[in-house]
C-alpha cells in the first residue's frame, strides 16, 4: 500500500519494536538485553516503584483517535491517583442479535459483547470485576502482557470469582495493539454465551495515524428458532454469526469519507470457527495481530483476512472508491441466519402435484427450495416466534440475500458526519442492468444460441 | 329369519291376562297358557334398567311389523339408543331365549293339572256252555295329586319366575353387548379416517423421495429407506378397514340384520367424556340388590328348599288310587262298589329322592355365594376400569393430543422458515394422527367400561355421580 505512512520503528521484528519502545518510554531501560529477555517484570517493577516517573494517563483526542464500535459500547473509566479505574460487571443480558431475534446471553455491564476497553500504552489500569452471574467466572486479558497473577485463568493463576464477589485486577499496559478480554472459567459455556470483549491499547505516540478506526468482534452462536437462549453445548452447527454481536440485517454500516485512511480491528472469540473476512472494492494490508504490529516489509496485500479464533487482525486501507461495499465472512454458511441444516435438498425437484396431494394433510402446504434459498428472504409466512429469516435485508435495488457476518462499508464524498448516509447513488452508467437489444446486436450476443466455450487442447 | 324349532305351540289366542301376584295366590290356577304372561314382567325389568322397550310385553310381536320397524330405524342411521332398541327386539338368540318363557309357562300349567282318571274294563268269556261271560268295569283316579298339587304348583310358579328373571338378564346382556359393539364400530370408523390421514402423509413423503431421486438429490439407498413407510401405512389402513368391516358385521349379527338393512350408516359419533362418573359408594350392595343373575340364583335356592320340604312331607304318601268297580256276576246281581289301592311305603320312603334334592339345594346355595362373590368383584373391576380409562382419556385430551398439535403447528412454522423439511412436517402430522387415534381408543374404552359397570350392577347405574372436572 503506497498510501501507508512509514512506521516510526525501523525494526523488522514487531516484538523487538515493542520492547525497544517500551524501554524508551518507561524511564530508562535497565539494559536492552535484559529488557529483551524479561521485559515485562522489569518494566512493571520500575513503574510500581517509581510512579512519578510513569507517563500521565492517556487521554482521548489529545493522545489518540477514539475507536468506533459499530453497534457496540465502551467501558468508562475514572482517574484515581493516576490509575485508570474500570468496573466490569458480569451478568445475564437480554440481547437483540437482529430485529426479531433476542437471546438471553451472558455479558458485561448489560452488553453483549462486553464494552470495549480503550486505554493507552503505559497506562496503569485497575479493573474491578463484579460477578452477578449464577456461576463463578474470571477475566483473562487475552494477549495483554500482565504479571502472572493477573492473567485470569481460573484455578491456575487465581481463585474463580464466585457469584456476588468482586475481584480487582491491576497492571500496567506495556504494549499497544488490539487485545481482548474474556472469561477463562468454563469457557465453553461462558464464551459460548457471549462473555468476550475488545481491549484496544493505543500507542503512546501514534504510529500510523488513521482517520477512522473501527473495532469489530466476531462471534458465533447456536440459537434454535423459537428458543430464547444460545446453546453453548453446540460444537459444529452454529446458526447465528455476528459482528459486534449483531447479525445482518442488524449490523450498522461503517461510514467513511472518500480518501480517508481506515483501520478495522477484527477480534475473533467464536467458540469454534475462524473467519475469512473479505472486503469488497479495496485492497488492504494486515498491519497488526494481537501479538503486535507487523513489520511493513512483512505485510501482504489482501482482500480477505483470516481471523483465527482467539486472535485479532488489524487491517488498514485508504477508502478511495465511493460506494456501498460489502464486508463479510466468506464462509457461505456464515452469511446465513438461522437455517435448517438438516432439511432435504430440493434443488431442481419438480413438485408436480405434490402441493395438491398435501393439501388434505397440511392445508396451505407449498413446496419450497427447488431453486434455492433466495426466495426465503421474507415470504410473509408465519415463522417460529423469536426467529429471523435465514437471509435477506432490504437493499437499494432488491433484497440483499445475505445474513450473519455481513456489513457494509459506506464510502461517501464530502460527508460531514458519520451517520448512516443511506444507499449509494452511483453514476447510472456504472451500474449493471439488463442488456438492451441494441447492445446485444452490436456485440453479436445471441442469448438463445448455445453458450460459447473454448475447450483446452494439450497445446494450450 | 331363523325360527326356534321344536317348541310345541301351546299358545291360545285370546287367553285371559292373569295378574302376576294373583297367579301366585291361586291354589288351582288357570289351566291355560297366555302369550304375554312373563313377557310383561321381562319388559318391565328391561325398561326399568335400560329405558328401552322389548316390544314383547304382549308376547311375540308380529314378524312383519318388526321387520318394518327395523327397516325404518336402520334407514335413519344407527345411534347407541337405536342399536339397543333393535337388539332387544330383533337379536335372533334373544328371540329364542324369549321363547323359553313359553316353555317355562307350559311347565307351570302342567304342574297345576290333576292326573287324568283311568278307566278299565275286564271281560270274561264263558269257556263251557252253561257258564256266563263276565264284564267288569272300573274308573280309577289317582288322588295323590290332590294332596301335593298346591305345593307342586307353587314350585312351578317360582321356577317360572326364575326363568323370567333369567330371560330379562339375557336381554340386558344383549343390550350391553350391542352397546359395546356399537362403541367399537364408532371408534373403528374414525380410526380408519385418521389412518387415511397417515397414509396421505406417508404418500407425500413417498412422492417427495421419488421426486428428489429423479432430480438427482438423493441416493437410491435414501429413496428406498424413505419409501417403505408408505407401504407399511397402506397395509395398516387395509387392516383397519377390515377391522371396521368386522365391527359392522358384529353389529349386524347382534341386531339380526341381513339384506338391505346391513347398509346402515352411523348417525352419531362417540360422545365426549362426560363431566361426571357414576358414584361408586355402596355400589356392591346396589349390585347385589339389583342383579338378575343373583336374583335367579337366590330364587333357585329357595325353590330347592321348597322341593326338599315337599318331598319330606309326602315321603309316607304312597300311591293312593280310589276307584269305582262295576261288575256283573254271571248269575248274581250287578255289583258296583268302591275300589281302593294304597301303596305301602315299606321300602321306598323317598329317602333317595330327598337326599338328592338336599344335595342339590346345598349346591344351589353354594352357587348363590359364588355368583354374589363374582358380582362384587365384577363391580370393583368395572368401576376401577371406568376410573382408569377416564384418566387415560384426560391424559390424551388435555396432555398428549394438545402437545402433538403444538408440535405440528410449530413444525409448520419451522417449515415456513425452511428450518424443517417436509419429512419432518409429515412425521409431526403422523404424530398428531396417532395421538388422535389414541384419544379415540381411550374414549371408546371409557364408554365401554361404563357399559360394563352398568351391566355389573344389574343394568343401570345409580343416579348422581362424582364430578371429576371443574
Considering Cα of B16, then B18, then B23, then B26, what sign does the dihedral take?
Answer: negative
Q: In the 8-state DSSP scheme, what is residue B59?
A: B
Residues A275-294 pLDDT 10s: 999 999 999 999 999 999 99
pLDDT at site B10 = 34
Max avg pLDDT among A430-439, B8-17, B338-347:
A430-439
pLDDT at site B330 = 63
Percent of chain A with pLDDT over 90: 75
B428-455 as b/e, with b when 16 or more CB fall inside 10 Å? bbbbbbbbbbbbbbbbbbbbbbbbbbbb
Q: Other C-beta atoms within 10 Å of A267: how many?
A: 33
DSSP characters over A379-393: ------SS---SS-E
Mean pLDDT of B404-432: 93
Mean pLDDT of A32-52: 38
DSSP characters over B207-255: HHHHHHHHTT-S-HHHHHHHTHHHHHHHHHHHHHHHHHHHHHHHHHHHH
Residues A380-420 pLDDT 10s: 788 899 999 898 889 999 999 999 999 999 999 999 999 99
pLDDT at site B131 = 67
Burial class (CB in 10 A: 0-12, 13-18, 19+), B221: exposed
The contact set of B with A (CB < 8 A) is 197, 200-201, 203-204, 207-208, 211-212, 214-218, 410, 412-414, 416-426, 429
Mean pLDDT of B5-20: 35
Cβ–Cβ gap B416/A362 under 8 Å = no
Residues A238-270 pLDDT 10s: 999 999 999 999 999 999 999 999 999 999 999
Work out how many CB contacts closer than 8 A connect A with B: 103
Residues of A with Cβ-Cβ distance to B216 under 8 angstroms: 348
Instruction: Tell me the CA distances in angstroms from A107 to A3, A181, A182, B27, B242, one per residue in order.
Output: 39, 11, 10, 104, 63
Distance CA A188, CA B205 (A): 39
Instruction: Write out the E strands in B104-217.
Output: 118-124, 134-142
pLDDT at site B336 = 78
Percent of chain B with pLDDT over 90: 54
Which residues, 6 or more positions from B170, have their beta carbon under 8 angstroms from its beta carbon? B94, B97
The whole-model pTM stands at 0.79
Q: Which residues is A89 bridged to in the sheet?
A: A130
Which residues, 6 or more positions from A130, have their beta carbon under 8 angstroms from its beta carbon? A87, A88, A89, A90, A165, A166
Q: Which residues is A158 bridged to in the sheet?
A: A154
Of the candidates A345, A357, A384, the beta carbon closest to that of B203 is on A357
**At B401, phi and psi to the nearest 5?**
-65, -50
Residues B310-329 pLDDT 10s: 888 888 777 777 777 777 76
Residues of B with Cβ-Cβ distance to A340 under 8 angstroms: 414, 417-421
Q: Helix, strand, coil: what percent of chain A each, to 5?
A: 15, 30, 55
Predicted confidence band at A437 (pLDDT cuts at 50, 70, 90)? Answer: very high
pLDDT at site A6 = 40
Q: Which residues is A125 bridged to in the sheet?
A: A84, A171
Q: Which grid coordinates are listed for B18? A: 292373569
Mean pLDDT of A203-219: 94
Is residue A317 within 8 A of residue A284, CB to CB? The reply is yes
pLDDT at site B276 = 86
Distance CA B461, CA B283 (A): 9
The single residue listed with the C-alpha cell 381408543 is: B441
Look over chain A and give the mean of its residue pLDDT values, rounded to a whole number: 88
Q: Would the pLDDT of A5 be above 50?
A: no
Residues of A with Cβ-Cβ distance to B421 under 8 angstroms: 340, 342-344
Which residues, 6 or more positions from A437, have their beta carbon under 8 angstroms from its beta carbon? none
Residues A350-383 pLDDT 10s: 988 999 988 888 888 888 889 888 876 666 788 8
HSE-CB for B30 with a 13 A CA cutoff: 14
Max avg pLDDT among B74-78, B133-137, B321-325:
B74-78
Distance CA A162, CA A131 (A): 7
Instruction: Write out the E strands in A203-274.
Output: 212-221, 240-243, 254-257, 261-268
Look over chain B and give the mean of its residue pLDDT values, rounded to a whole number: 85
Please check whether residue A392 touches B, CB under 8 A. no
Question: Distance, in angstroms, between A248 CA and closest chain B CA?
Answer: 17
Q: Which grid coordinates are listed for A324? A: 456501498
Q: Would the pLDDT of B214 be above 90?
A: yes
pLDDT at site A38 = 38
Residues of A with Cβ-Cβ distance to B212 under 8 angstroms: 344-346, 349
Q: Other C-beta atoms within 10 Å of B59: how many?
A: 18
Amino acid at each position: 500500500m503506497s498510501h501507508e505512512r512509514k512506521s516510526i520503528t525501523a525494526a523488522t521484528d514487531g516484538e523487538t519494536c515493542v520492547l525497544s519502545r517500551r524501554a524508551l518510554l518507561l524511564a530508562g531501560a535497565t539494559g536492552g538485553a535484559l529488557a529483551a529477555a524479561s521485559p515485562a517484570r522489569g518494566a512493571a517493577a520500575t513503574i510500581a516503584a517509581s510512579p512519578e516517573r510513569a507517563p500521565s494517563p492517556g487521554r482521548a483526542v489529545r493522545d489518540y483517535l477514539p475507536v468506533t464500535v459499530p453497534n457496540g459500547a465502551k467501558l468508562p473509566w475514572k482517574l484515581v491517583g493516576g490509575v485508570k479505574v474500570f468496573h466490569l460487571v458480569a451478568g445475564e443480558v437480554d440481547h437483540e442479535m437482529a430485529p426479531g431475534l433476542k437471546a438471553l446471553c451472558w455479558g458485561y455491564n448489560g452488553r453483549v459483547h462486553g464494552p470495549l476497553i480503550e486505554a493507552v500504552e503505559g497506562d496503569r489500569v485497575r479493573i474491578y470485576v463484579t460477578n452477578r452471574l449464577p456461576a463463578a467466572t474470571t477475566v483473562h486479558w487475552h494477549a495483554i502482557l500482565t504479571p502472572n497473577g493477573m492473567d485470569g485463568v481460573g484455578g491456575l493463576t487465581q481463585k474463580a470469582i464466585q457469584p456476588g464477589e468482586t475481584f480487582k485486577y491491576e497492571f500496567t499496559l506495556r504494549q499497544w495493539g488490539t487485545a481482548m478480554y474474556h472469561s477463562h472459567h468454563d469457557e465453553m459455556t461462558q464464551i459460548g454465551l457471549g462473555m468476550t470483549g475488545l481491549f484496544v491499547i493505543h500507542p503512546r505516540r501514534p504510529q500510523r495515524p488513521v482517520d477512522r478506526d473501527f473495532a469489530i468482534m466476531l462471534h458465533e452462536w447456536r440459537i434454535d428458532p423459537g428458543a430464547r437462549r444460545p446453546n453453548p453445548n453446540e460444537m459444529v452447527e452454529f446458526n447465528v454469526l455476528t459482528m459486534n454481536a449483531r447479525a445482518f440485517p442488524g449490523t450498522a454500516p461503517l461510514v467513511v469519507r472518500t480518501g480517508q485512511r481506515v483501520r478495522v480491528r477484527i477480534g475473533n472469540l467464536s467458540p469454534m470457527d475462524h473467519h475469512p473476512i473479505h472486503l469488497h472494492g479495496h485492497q488492504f494490508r494486515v498491519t497488526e495481530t494481537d501479538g503486535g504490529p507487523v513489520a511493513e516489509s512483512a505485510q501482504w496485500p489482501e482482500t480477505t483476512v483470516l481471523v483465527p479464533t482467539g486472535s485479532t487482525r488489524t487491517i488498514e486501507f485508504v477508502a478511495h472508491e465511493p460506494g456501498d461495499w460489502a464486508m463479510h465472512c466468506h464462509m457461505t454458511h456464515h452469511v446465513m441466519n438461522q437455517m435448517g441444516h438438516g432439511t432435504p435438498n430440493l434443488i431442481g425437484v419438480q413438485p408436480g402435484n405434490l402441493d395438491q396431494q398435501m393439501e388434505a394433510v397440511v392445508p396451505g402446504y407449498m413446496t419450497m427450495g427447488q431453486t434455492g434459498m433466495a426466495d426465503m428472504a421474507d415470504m410473509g409466512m408465519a415463522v417460529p416466534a423469536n426467529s429471523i429469516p435465514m437471509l435477506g435485508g432490504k437493499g437499494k435495488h432488491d433484497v440483499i440475500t445475505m445474513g450473519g457476518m455481513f456489513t457494509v462499508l459506506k464510502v461517501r464524498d464530502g460527508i460531514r458526519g458519520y451517520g448512516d448516509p443511506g444507499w449509494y447513488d452511483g453514476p447510472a452508467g456504472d451500474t449493471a442492468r439488463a442488456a438492451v437489444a441494441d447492445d446485444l446486436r452490436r456485440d453479436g450476443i445471441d442469448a438463445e444460441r448455445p453458450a460459447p466455450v473454448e475447450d483446452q487442447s494439450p497445446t494450450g | 329369519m331363523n325360527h326356534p324349532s321344536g317348541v310345541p305351540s301351546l299358545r291360545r289366542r285370546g287367553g285371559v291376562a292373569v295378574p302376576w301376584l294373583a297367579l301366585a295366590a291361586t291354589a288351582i290356577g288357570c289351566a291355560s297358557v297366555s302369550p304375554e304372561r312373563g313377557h310383561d314382567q321381562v319388559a318391565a325389568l328391561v325398561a326399568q334398567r335400560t329405558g328401552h322397550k322389548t316390544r314383547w310385553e304382549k308376547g311375540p310381536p308380529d314378524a312383519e311389523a318388526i321387520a318394518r320397524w327395523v327397516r325404518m330405524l336402520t334407514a335413519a342411521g344407527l345411534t347407541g339408543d337405536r342399536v339397543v332398541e333393535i337388539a332387544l327386539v330383533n337379536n335372533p338368540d334373544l328371540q329364542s331365549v324369549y321363547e323359553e318363557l313359553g316353555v317355562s309357562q307350559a311347565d307351570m300349567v302342567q304342574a297345576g293339572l290333576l292326573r287324568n282318571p283311568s278307566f278299565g274294563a275286564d271281560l270274561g268269556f264263558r269257556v263251557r256252555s252253561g257258564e256266563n261271560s263276565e264284564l267288569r268295569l272300573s274308573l280309577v283316579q289317582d288322588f295323590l295329586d290332590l294332596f301335593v298339587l298346591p305345593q307342586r304348583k307353587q314350585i312351578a310358579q317360582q321356577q317360572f319366575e326364575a326363568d323370567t328373571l333369567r330371560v330379562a338378564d339375557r336381554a340386558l346382556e344383549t343390550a350391553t353387548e350391542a352397546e359395546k359393539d356399537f362403541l367399537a364400530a364408532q371408534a373403528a370408523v374414525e380410526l380408519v379416517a385418521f389412518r387415511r390421514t397417515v397414509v396421505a402423509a406417508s404418500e407425500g413423503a413417498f412422492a417427495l423421495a421419488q421426486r428428489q431421486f429423479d432430480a438427482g438429490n438423493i441416493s437410491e439407498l435414501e429413496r428406498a429407506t424413505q419409501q417403505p413407510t408408505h407401504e407399511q401405512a397402506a397395509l395398516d389402513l387395509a387392516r383397519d378397514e377390515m377391522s371396521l368391516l368386522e365391527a359392522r358385521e358384529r353389529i349386524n349379527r347382534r341386531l339380526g340384520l341381513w339384506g338391505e338393512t346391513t347398509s346402515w350408516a352411523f348417525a352419531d359419533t362417540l360422545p365426549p367424556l362426560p363431566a361426571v362418573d357414576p358414584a361408586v359408594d355402596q355400589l356392591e350392595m346396589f349390585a347385589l340388590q339389583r342383579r338378575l343373575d343373583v336374583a335367579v340364583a337366590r330364587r333357585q335356592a329357595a325353590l330347592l328348599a321348597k322341593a326338599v320340604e315337599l318331598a319330606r312331607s309326602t315321603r309316607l304318601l304312597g300311591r293312593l288310587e280310589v276307584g269305582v268297580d262295576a261288575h256283573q256276576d254271571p248269575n248274581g246281581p250287578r255289583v258296583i262298589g268302591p275300589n281302593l289301592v294304597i301303596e305301602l311305603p315299606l321300602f321306598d320312603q323317598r329317602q333317595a329322592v330327598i337326599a338328592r334334592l338336599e344335595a342339590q339345594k346345598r349346591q344351589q346355595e353354594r352357587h348363590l355365594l359364588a355368583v354374589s362373590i363374582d358380582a362384587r368383584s365384577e363391580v370393583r373391576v368395572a368401576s376401577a376400569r371406568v376410573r382408569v380409562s377416564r384418566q387415560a382419556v384426560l391424559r390424551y385430551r388435555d396432555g398428549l393430543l394438545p402437545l402433538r398439535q403444538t408440535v405440528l403447528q410449530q413444525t409448520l412454522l419451522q417449515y415456513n422458515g425452511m428450518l424443517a423439511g417436509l419429512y419432518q412436517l409429515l412425521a409431526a402430522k403422523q404424530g398428531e394422527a396417532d395421538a388422535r387415534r389414541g384419544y379415540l381408543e381411550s374414549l371408546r374404552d371409557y364408554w365401554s367400561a361404563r357399559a360394563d359397570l352398568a351391566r355389573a350392577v344389574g343394568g343401570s347405574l345409580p343416579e348422581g355421580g362424582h364430578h371429576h372436572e371443574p
